[in-house]
Structure 1
């Protein structure tokens, strides 16, 4: 060591530190093991508490969702959550279990994963119902929501209920709806018609055109009855006169 005395004493200090660390390592290892065990116990307790809250909240959400979709021509729909426990190494922000929303469309049908069995129209109505439930519980707004054929297979009072729900949502978010139901179209702030346009390059073209005033009244009349006679036009005007714009 050396050649200077400072370097000799420096090497001596390093050697002494290494010996001291070696002597202390068993004690530090035991302390680390104890800290790890305590942290694991706290994690298990937190995971158990989180899962209890998820079970309770999931059941409450399913009840609210069932009540909401019942007004949208899905009176027999039933929902539940299934949770699969995860290995500790897979725990994350979602907690100790992976959740799956199950759906039963009829009393005799066994619950199955919603993502596997719900039709497009059912999913649209469920999304509408879920958004309404979330708004009623203070959920955030300012999104853009798109509903495609959310009113498929419904009409009359149910169609009016769908229209009202969509209108309620539009107070908190931009709502774009693809619909064939005049009750829904009549409550919109802006009405666009999708129609075939002149062929371009040998391929059919699709055009999107906004309709206003008398043209919108005529379009609603066609949606109502396929005609634009005086009776249909009067009915269309009555629809446009209902509810806030």
Structure 2
């Protein structure tokens, strides 16, 4: 998701920290002493290699939850999906009418990032509020329609008719909500050694930056996204402790 400039900077930083990045490489087998990996060269030729290791940390993608797998198996329109529930532009699960999906369990043609999931969640909240308001207004319109039929004189009927027209205007405004559209606000990532990279949407273009100043910006952005003052204080205290005493990775 980052620009070529930031990708090169990150790879250079990793190299300085003796971190090797292997692209176009697939792990085929893991033993207690080595990893068996298959890599594809520039010529397309595949090579099998045994990589010895001392400590292995396995961090792969998210697997589908059993409830999602079960749901997909029950919906014929989802038979071709493999990574999650396919949804339409309103995040409705394809093949259903009253089931919505967001985040990692949904396939909406966007990158599976927290930023996308957050915007999807906010969109769904607005959509549900719209649906509740629509139901409320339609119920009120039904009652007013009955009152209009029962009204005995002209002024009463006109008053009820005026209320109906006003509610109809509100109903049209409520129903004007469009489909979900993702708005990319930029990307931030910590790359170690108190350095970070940032690719931020700025005016009509992008602002790309990397280094220790960007790391400070990353920290400030992290704090701003905490949900409460209590969480911000806890995070700051944790950072101070880690700076003074180092990160505690022990387990009781």
Query: More helix by proportion, 1 or 2?
Result: 1
TM-score, normalised to structure 1's length?
0.25
TM-score, normalised to structure 2's length?
0.25
